[in-house]
Amino acid sequence: MKNIPQHVAIIMDGNGRWAKKQGFATRVRGHELGVEALRRASTGAAELGIRFLTVYAFSEENWQRPKAEVDALMNILMTSLSKELPVLQENGIRLHAIGNLDALPSKARKQLDATREATAGNTRMVLTLALSYGSRQELTSAVRVLAEKAVRGELQAQSISERDVAQALWTHDLPDPELVIRTSGEQRISNFLLWQISYAELVFLPVLWPDFSKEDLVSALSTFAGRERRLGKTSEQLHA
Ligand code: IPE
Ligand code: IPE
Ligand code: MG
């Protein structure tokens, strides 16, 4: 494939509807199968030459879900991190995480740190889990960091640049995504990477996340390849 984006971000949505459609009594089975979809997406992305894959796994707002569902999600996170380690290693995938990670249960946090350490040497692709993540919260924390620097006299308010803002975000070590995919047919961003996706292409797929396949990824990539990314310029300028 040509024109493969360096960084793809995915809003993995539709687990609950998938479970309901399949006749499961709770939404949890959808989340469990969602992990398998993430495995397909990650290995597929690495095979296709994508260097950074960032997935929205749990939003700041998701803490408001019923306690039983939140607990189940945290358990799935913990068990999956250890279970999927061999897959990450075999595929050269380095695990990374962004979000208000201190809000995670300490056991999950520890497991996350252990998996990050264990995969730190992998260089084929970086898989970033957005956990307890909210873009407004991230921007608010960046404003605080910059304000504190200004108060300490390390930064002149007048000289704050886009680069300074980007450096104060949780994503400071990631390039901006060129493509955002959202599954489940919903067409919204839900507080995901607002700053970073300013110029990303958005692709909305009807497939529910547990059914996501490598073919769906390829289809989103070919939609992306067919888009003209003008970045403010004219089409004529791009072709000159
Ligand atoms: C996405 O699926 C997973 C999380 C938000 C954790 P949902 O759980 O939102 O499933 P739907 O959107 O209700 O079908
Ligand atoms: C967004 O999905 C968050 C994740 C995919 C983790 P939601 O299902 O929480 O989003 P809304 O509430 O429908 O916008
Ligand atoms: Mg949803």
| pLDDT tens track for 148-160 | 999 999 999 999 9
**Å from CA of 16 to ligand 3 middle:** 7
Q: Ramachandran region of residue 23, left (φ > 0), alpha (ψ -120 to 50) or beta?
A: left
Which atom of ligand 2 sits closest to the CA of residue 16? 8
Give the residue extent of every domain in the chain.
Answer: 7-133+176-239
* Dist. CA 185 → ligand 3 center (Å): 10
Residue 140, number of CB atoms within 10 A of its CB: 11
pLDDT surpassing 90 at residue 215: yes
**pLDDT tens-digit profile of 90-143?**
999 999 999 999 999 999 999 999 999 999 999 999 999 999 999 999 999 999
What are the structure tokens assigned to 125, written together?
A: 């692709």
What's the mean pLDDT in 74-101? 98
pLDDT, tens digit, for every residue of 160-206?
999 999 999 999 999 999 999 999 999 999 999 999 999 999 999 99
Q: Residue 202: its pLDDT value, please?
A: 98
- State if residue 210 touches ligand 1 by the CB under 6 angstroms criterion: no
C-alpha dihedral sign at 204, 207, 211, 216: negative
Specify which residues 182 forms β-bridges with.
11, 204
**Computed over its alpha carbons, how large is the radius of gyration of the chain?**
19
* pLDDT value of position 118: 98
Residue 2's pLDDT is 86
Tens digit of each residue's pLDDT (9 = 90 or more) over 34-48 = 999 999 999 999 999
CA 74 vs CA 28, 58, 81, 132, 223: distances in Å: 11, 9, 11, 11, 34
Average pLDDT over residues 3-11: 98
CB of 207 within 6 A of ligand 1: the answer is no
- What ligand is nearest to the CA atom of residue 133? 2
Q: Is the dihedral of CA 122, 189, 83, 169 positive or negative?
A: positive
Ligand positioned closest to the Cα atom of 14? 1
Tell me how far apart the 2 most distant CA atoms of the chain are, in Å. 60
Q: Above 90 in pLDDT, residue 62?
A: yes
Q: How confident is the model at residue 226 (pLDDT cuts 50, 70, 90)?
A: very high
Whole-number pLDDT of residue 86: 98
Beta-carbon contacts of residue 239 (< 8 Å; ≥ 6 apart): none
User: Which residues are catalytically annotated?
Assistant: 13, 62
State both tokens at 130: 């957005």
Helix, strand or coil, per DSSP, at residue 120: coil
164 alpha carbon to ligand 1 midpoint, in Å? 34
Whether the CB of 35 sits within 6 Å of ligand 2: no
Q: How far apart are CA 115 and CA 86, in angstroms?
A: 10
Question: Which of ligand 1's atoms lies nearest the C-alpha of 186?
Answer: 12
CATH code of 7-133+176-239, in short, is 3.40.1180.10
Model confidence at 71, pLDDT cuts 50, 70, 90, reads very high
Q: Check residue 101 and give its pLDDT.
A: 98
Checking if the pLDDT of 1 tops 90, the result is no
What's the whole-number mean pLDDT along residues 61-89?
98
**What does the pLDDT read at residue 14?**
98
Question: Would you state the structure tokens that stand for residue 103, as one six-digit string?
Answer: 């809000």
Q: Which atom of ligand 1 is nearest to the CA of 31?
A: 3
- 133 CB less than 6 Å from ligand 2? no
**Under 8 Å between Cβ of 216 and 35:** no
On average, the pLDDT of the chain sits at 98
CA of 47 to the centre of ligand 2 (A): 27
What number of helices (H) and strands (E) belong to the chain?
9, 6
Residue 133 in contact with ligand 1 by CB distance below 6 A: no
Indicate whether residue 184 lines ligand 1 (CB < 6 A).
Answer: yes
Task: Say how many Å lie between the CA of residue 11 and the centre of ligand 1.
Answer: 10
